[in-house]
Structure 1
Amino acid sequence: MSNFDYDLFVIGAGSGGVRASRIAASHGARVAVAEDYRVGGTCVIRGCVPKKLLVYGAHFAEDLKDARHFGWDVPDCKFDWDRLRDNVQAEVTRLEGLYGQTLENHKVTVFKTRATIAGPQKVRLADGTELTAERILVATGGWPHVPEFPGSEHAITSNEVFHLDKLPKRVVIAGGGYIANEFAGIFNEFGSKVTIVNRGDTILRGYDEQIRDRLLQISMTKGIDFKFNAPFEKIVQNDDGTLTVHLGGCEPIVADAVLVAAGRVPNTKGVGLEEVGVDLDDHGAIKVDESNQSSVPSIYAVGDVTNRIQLTPVAIREGQAFADSVFGGKPTVVDYQNVPSAVFSHPPIGAVGMTEAEARNKLGSIRVYTSDFRAMKNVLAGRNERALYKMVVNAATDQVVGLHMIGPDAPEILQAAAIAVKAGLTKADFDNTVALHPSMAEELVLLK
């Protein structure tokens, strides 16, 4: 028997931590996990799951109007924020229970309290209890970054946005990334006046330029206002509870809520990492090798806390790879090439592989194919909103190295198409596939 209390102690019961815990336990390890908030982590509790449910709810604003063009006599409908908010939170609670049940079924000990690292093989719980473990896995995820400026305490982040007492009539959103654009679309469909404020001049940095330009165009048509090169100076709370946002180079904006979506940082503060010699990078992320091992051999890390690719499926793969490698005798390394991603904006974006600019810089000679079209549903509904599909091909090999899409159900279509890109298929392979008609996805095999 081991001299340690546990073979593995996991700090953080999010997607990566839960996966690592249950897989390690299935391999016979004695596992404990500590979580100081709710089991499930960012994705399940205050991230992609409740956000996607709000996205579904927001879509009904346009679907109900469009239904009239399809013969349905739909009356003017009133949106009830309280009902959606409470239903979403009920679903979050249900999922939290399932995650906890999964850990229990695998005989993982769960400590519902904060844990910090007290030594290379020792953790300390909030009540002072110290436990030993042969290995420690840090899976504490990320945390919303809120820049410091006067009045920043009046702003909310993606942590609090799901719990608003009432729907704000006017919302200012700081940031240009996927969280900012997703919530801009959500609140706009719910009837709020939305202004996105960006200190730079680009939204969705890292996505293909044509795709992000199309989202900007559509968002502005839907009534979302954009302020670029406008850094926050201060937020002032008025006597009536409203907020006045002062920006550089712009007139002040009065709002009922200010959402800061300025990125996420690794959640490593106060965990005890530096005290035991774990190396962190300039952003506070834990430096790990391809085996998820830190500079301290007994301490590992997976997920957003390592700041490699901040996506839930990546954290899950890292947790699985760690457990299989260390406890299952199956050395596994995560492949970070061609990881698909989505932005659940209105309309949504799906992407995998290199953008056109990246391909030109890396490959030199490329071919680009696009399809700019109006979805059949939008035509009958009288909507001028156009979808855009883009394929980037290595001219020397005919291999498809990038797919970028914006339009209805783009992420759903992109997931399957990403398999083709990951497999290294060619443009000829797409061309040789018979179209599934009528569908939006058929555009991918009809590109000329």
Structure 2
Amino acid sequence: MTAFDAIIIGAGQAGPSLAGRLSEAGRKVAIIERKHVGGTCVNTGCKPTKTLVASAYAARLARRGAEYGVVLDSPVRIDMPAVIRRAHQVTLDSRQGTETWLEGMVNTTLIRGHARFEDPRTVRVGDDLLTAPQIFLNVGGRATIPDLPGIADIPVLTNSDMVMLDRVPEHLIVIGGSYIGLEFAQMFRRFGARVTVIEKGPHLVGREDEEISEAIRGILEAEGITVVTGADDIRFAKRGRDIRVQASAARPEVIGTDVLLAVGRRPNTDDLGLEEAGVARDSHGYITVDDHLKTTAEGIWALGDCNGRGAFTHTAYNDFEIVAANLLDGEDRKLSDRLLGYALYIDPPLGRVGMSERQARASGRPVQVSHVPMTKVGRAVEKGETQGLMKLVADAETRQILGAAILGTGGDEAIHGVLDLMNAGATTDQLRWAVPIHPTVSEFWPSVVLGLS
């Protein structure tokens, strides 16, 4: 049995950074990874998908060249193997960079293999037993495969498969109208596929306000994507080489060549022997943690997607920051202090922070709302990208900024002007009197404040 000061299971976004801080503090650390370091973000998530989004954007812009006075002599052609090679190289560079970093840590040992608990302080990896007084779980998640009628009879794709797909499907059917599904739907439409999105709920990206959801739908439909909502009885069947998808009894079936399942994710917690360590999970398999990311077992923490308290790379990294600050810096950082922001990387992207209007009104407080179409934003007009809107939600009495959304060009960046002020506790009055740079998308936030009512 080999003794360490700390064991980290999983080398996603939180694990390597935590290993680095613990190693710098003189702790002897083992970090265990059964597949690729970097987790979902590097291997099947952010890195490859946003690289593919960039290629799809380039294809779209090339086709629009004449609008800008740039005329191509022949139609745009997609070299899908080259597109995928570029995405793979971005992933490989990031993965190798993380591996080199980990292997260079003086007090850290990178161990390859599958880890399982033997007891609250002991982990088995193959024939080796490791022990430590502190254990950190950063095991991530994977795509959910729903038990839908006929699904066992057809080939299906997940996000992990899509980032490896070096061909353009003739007709891609996307099951699930939320963040992952819509990003792949738009990019593959731009690569040349026919695309149909089938969503169970009444709106796409159901957590957003209805006007945002409907604006997203309009953007996708304008590019030729078919959107089906209210799919209350999804069924699958083979039809020769094709796949039949029935969305509901009242709708005609959709015939496609490929099916992408994008209906959610599940944590990788079902094969860790958590019961041997006394680590509790909820009904969805997520590890139960308190406000400091401690599990129900003393000396064991859970970080990242596996704890169900955030489904993003930046929230996983913030989990690391919270744990490291509390254990090594004598601070008292909490999950409940975190202000959530995120983005949907269709084009134009959606940047979001804080409460939606629906959430704010449900809280019972007096609410002011302002929304402005991107056609009013000079920078968007100059770029020829005027789809979408900007939206701000505030407390009518305290002037506290409650939330914001920008569905528009540069929205994933421009949202940070509001996000940073919210983190600083600023009010709408302070946002109103900011002097932003012209011409930018962000400069319009003070004008959005003026529309609050």
TM-score under structure 2 length normalisation: 0.92
Say whether the 8 Å CA contact 1:363–1:394 is kept in structure 2. no
Within 5 Å, which residues of 2 pair with 1:262-273? 262-273=263-274
2:77 & 2:166 partners in 1: Cα distance?
17
Matched, 1:118 2:124: no
CA offset at residue 295 of structure 1? 1.1
- 2:114 partner letter: R
* CA offsets 1:336-356 (integer angstroms, 9 cap, x no match): 442211000122101111111
Say whether the 8 Å CA contact 1:215–1:347 is kept in structure 2. no
1:10 & 1:200 partners in 2: Cα distance?
38
CA offset at residue 194 of structure 1? 0.9
* CA offsets 1:130-188 (integer angstroms, 9 cap, x no match): 11112111110111111013234611111111111411121011112211111111111
Within 5 Å, which residues of 2 pair with 1:168-179? 168-179=169-180
Secondary structure, counterpart of 1:92 in structure 2 = helix
Counterpart for residue 352 of structure 2: 351
| Correspondence for 2:51 among 50, 53, 68 | 53
Q: Per the alignment, do residues 394 and 324 of structure 1 end up closer, same or farther by CA in structure 2, a change over 3 Å counting?
A: closer
CA offset at residue 58 of structure 1? 0.8
- 1:115 partner letter: A
2:332 & 2:26 partners in 1: Cα distance?
16
Matched, 1:95 2:94: yes
- 1:78 partner letter: R
Counterpart for residue 182 of structure 1: 183
Secondary structure, counterpart of 2:78 in structure 1 = coil
CA offset at residue 48 of structure 1? 1.2
Counterpart for residue 217 of structure 2: 216
Structure 1: unaligned runs, 5 residues or longer: none
CA offset at residue 439 of structure 1? 2.4
Say whether the 8 Å CA contact 1:24–1:328 is kept in structure 2. no
1:431 & 1:381 partners in 2: Cα distance?
25
Q: Per the alignment, do residues 319 and 382 of structure 1 end up closer, same or farther by CA in structure 2, a change over 3 Å counting?
A: closer
Q: Per the alignment, do residues 378 and 315 of structure 1 end up closer, same or farther by CA in structure 2, a change over 3 Å counting?
A: closer
Within 5 Å, which residues of 2 pair with 1:279-290? 279-290=280-291
Counterpart for residue 148 of structure 1: 147
CA offset at residue 368 of structure 1? 1.0
Secondary structure, counterpart of 2:415 in structure 1 = helix
Say whether the 8 Å CA contact 2:15–2:138 is kept in structure 1. yes
Secondary structure, counterpart of 1:10 in structure 2 = strand
CA offset at residue 246 of structure 1? 3.2
- 1:113 partner letter: G
1:61 & 1:46 partners in 2: Cα distance?
22
CA offset at residue 319 of structure 1? 1.6
CA offset at residue 417 of structure 1? 2.4
Secondary structure, counterpart of 1:390 in structure 2 = strand
CA offset at residue 66 of structure 1? 3.2
Within 5 Å, which residues of 2 pair with 1:319-398? 319-374=320-375, 379=381, 385-398=386-399
CA offset at residue 328 of structure 1? 4.7
* CA offsets 1:169-224 (integer angstroms, 9 cap, x no match): 21011112211111111111112111111122122122232212211122112211
* Count of matched residue pairs: 443
TM-score under structure 1 length normalisation: 0.93
Structure 2: unaligned runs, 5 residues or longer: none
Secondary structure, counterpart of 1:258 in structure 2 = strand
Counterpart for residue 310 of structure 1: 311
Secondary structure, counterpart of 1:293 in structure 2 = coil
